[in-house]
Structure 1
Amino acid sequence: RLETPTTHTLPVCWLSNVERGPSHFVGPSYTSTMFAAKHYSIVCLILSFIHYSAGLYFHIGETERKCFIEEVPEETLVVGNYKCQLFDPKTGGFMQSSPGIGMHVEIRDPEDKTILSKVYSSDGRFSFTSHSPGEHVICLYSNSSSWFSGSQLRVHLDIQVGEHAVDYGSVARKEKLTELQLRVRQLLDQVDQITKEQNYQRFREERFRQTSESTNSRVLWWSAGQTIILLLMGFWQMRHLKSFFEAKKLV
């Protein structure tokens, strides 16, 4: 079960607008300025709720395993960032986990083949590139139970797929790209990701069509088989009744 954290922060635009107050809205266009500022504040408030709902976490026990299904197109980068917190019974809250606690990450492709199985630290980052389109299963569980016996472990998880998984800041520093070149790179990656998504949807449509055709064919053959069986049973019953009547000399 995914839960949202109990704290959230307002964006800078909302805070700065609150701090400025109405003293800045003076002059002949006071009404229009106040109207624009009101809508500006509403937009910032909506953005604050979007930011609030982004942080998700879940709880796992000692031997419990949590798995997530991610639909990924072919040749797509997937990056996951996680952070573990250990429950403290003294304070009733969660604290930073011990360095001895690790997280085992296991990833299986649509053909149920393990493409990644590795133990990371309590705070880590894992990544993989899909080689076949479809549902990839991402499982996480602790590598040790002795560190939090009888307690729960809170795991914050963030999964990024496609161009969202690329750190363009490091790319710009590494390749010494200008702002325009970096923007062009981002647009090219977005176009490439859209193409992959379209190919994946085409793959899903083709697979669904094959499944539908196979199901329809099986239903047709099953109906034909039932009809043939009923005809044979009817023919056998008629022959049996005819033999019975002839034996009793009723006909």
Structure 2
Amino acid sequence: MSKNSASNTWMLYFTFAVPVTSPYGNTVHHKENATVGQFAFTTSEAGNYLACFWLDSAEKGSGVSLNLDWKIGIATKDWDSVAKKEKIEGVELELAKLEAAVESIHHNLLYLKAREAEMREVSEKTNSRVAWFSILSLGVCVVVSALQLWHLQGFFQKKKLI
């Protein structure tokens, strides 16, 4: 709890913990006793990441608000610092943004192309396996039918019906 001297009111600060876990269970980020803050991480594993937020301590019935701004890809770049660092502005900055967007789209398309090739390969293997299974099933049916005919023929010959 702290006192805001300007408005002479008391403000209550809750602390919370934030772990971020990768799809394979690796902890990418972990912060304890946070009241405010921001963090960033670059992923090395593809998949869904899990971010948990929980209060370290809170009174029952107390209202807590959490604002989360989750950015991925090109949206994470701080263009103001890029403009200052490279001393560009206006049209040049917009062109740099567009170039980064095109680069991001290109990388996404390459990723999708690779995934499509993998999926096509899996689909072709599955199709081949189904075809061979169908041929094997047909062969088993033919063999069983032949055995049934052979057995029935022997049965009827024993009964002297044929």
Using the size of structure 1 for normalisation, the TM-score is: 0.50
CA change 1:168–1:238 in 2 (3 A) is same
Checking the alignment, whether the CA contact within 8 Å between 1:119 and 1:143 is kept in structure 2 is no
C-alpha distance after superposition, 1:89-141 (max 9, x if no partner): xxxxxx9750x222222232xxx363614235243333333446x5x212122
Q: Distance in 2 between matches of 1:96 and 1:209?
A: 56
Larger radius of gyration between Structure 1 and Structure 2: 2
How many pairs were matched up? 150
How does 1:17-166 map onto structure 2 within 5 Å?
Answer: 98=14, 100-108=15-23, 112=24, 114=26, 116-119=28-31, 121-131=34-44, 134=46, 136-144=47-55, 146-147=57-58, 154-166=65-77
From 96, 101, 123, the equivalent of 1:190 is: 101
Q: How far apart are residue 150 of structure 1 and its match?
A: 7.7
Q: Distance in 2 between matches of 1:233 and 1:169?
A: 77
CA change 1:182–1:101 in 2 (3 A) is same
Identity rate, percent = 28
Task: Say which structure, 1 or 2, has more relative contact order (CA 8 Å, 6+ apart).
Answer: 1
Q: Distance in 1 between matches of 2:73 and 2:48?
A: 17
What is the alpha-carbon root mean square deviation over aligned residues? 3.0
Using the size of structure 2 for normalisation, the TM-score is: 0.73
Q: Which structure 2 segments of 5+ residues have no match?
A: 1-10
Q: How far apart are residue 154 of structure 1 and its match?
A: 4.9
Would you tell me which structure has more strand in proportion to its own residues?
1
Q: Which structure 1 segments of 5+ residues have no match?
A: 1-94
Matched, 1:177 2:87: yes
Q: How far apart are residue 193 of structure 1 and its match?
A: 0.8
Q: Distance in 2 between matches of 1:230 and 1:167?
A: 67
